[in-house]
Amino acid sequence: MPKSTVDEIRARFDADVERFSNLETGQTATIDAALCLELVAKAAAAVTPHAQHVLDIGCGAGNFTLRLRQELAFSQVTLLDLSQPMLTRAAARATAAGLTPTTLQADIREAVFKPHSFDVIVAGAVLHHLRTDAEWEQTFAKLHSWLRPGGSLWIFDMVAHEHPSIEALQQRRWTEYLTNHGGAEYAAKVTAYVEKEDTPRPLTYQLELLRRTGFATVDVLHKNAAFAAFGAS
């Protein structure tokens, strides 16, 4: 089945701002979203305590930026997302939190920043839209180049698994979670758009790629079923 185009993904997110605006729960279609918001924020603060400028990739309505702000006294944030309605909401929430936001409506594959622009980069539930090995490698290399010396990258995302039987097992666990959360119809809806939109890679693949593209330290914060929080510096 052909995967969704960038325009199709953008249109879905344009109409889904409210679901991404709850800081207490995070994105509820993902497992342990609120926990991973906390872990990413605390890890960023521990590794990069003097951060001043954050890049939030696939920022949605700004949950990761706001949770980071609770742990880090940074002043500037660059918000990057496909969806203008998401950017508008994220910028308003960031401003209310005392930040100075800059917004960029773009696909991460097309975004360009100067080297060493950011102290911390966060990517929440966005990189699973990358398609080819070349896109993954180019994107991770860009993220490394955009960080200042001593900076850190933190990711929370859907992940695949190397063994087909493990992939099937973890997908069943996620479907059970979705069903318990919102019922069978909700679970079917979420799994249908994920099948059409997303191309996640295994956590092992991404950890190896982080090292290959220049990161010296790589750490896993949490993994549950088809979702993981991890980072590098």
> Is there a domain that residue 97 lies in?
yes
Alpha helices in the chain (DSSP H): 6-14, 33-47, 63-69, 84-96, 133-146, 164-182, 184-197, 203-212
> Is there a domain that residue 112 lies in?
yes
> Is there a domain that residue 152 lies in?
yes
- 129 band by pLDDT with thresholds 50, 70 and 90: very high
> Is there a domain that residue 191 lies in?
no
Separation between Cα atoms, residue 153 and residue 230, nearest integer Å: 9
The range of the structural domain enclosing residue 61 comes to 6-162+199-232
> Is there a domain that residue 177 lies in?
no
> Is there a domain that residue 113 lies in?
yes
Surface-to-core class of residue 117, CB atoms within 10 Å of its CB (0-12 exposed, 13-18 middle, 19+ buried): middle
Comparing CA positions, the residue from 114, 138, 115 lying closest to residue 127 is 138
The reported pLDDT for the residue numbered 1 is 65
> Is there a domain that residue 188 lies in?
no
Does pLDDT of 127 surpass 80?
yes
55-93 tens-digit pLDDT: 999 999 999 999 999 999 999 999 999 999 999 999 999
How many domains does the chain fold into?
1
> Is there a domain that residue 185 lies in?
no
pTM of structure: 0.95
Query: Where residue 24 sits, what CATH number does that domain have?
Result: 3.40.50.150
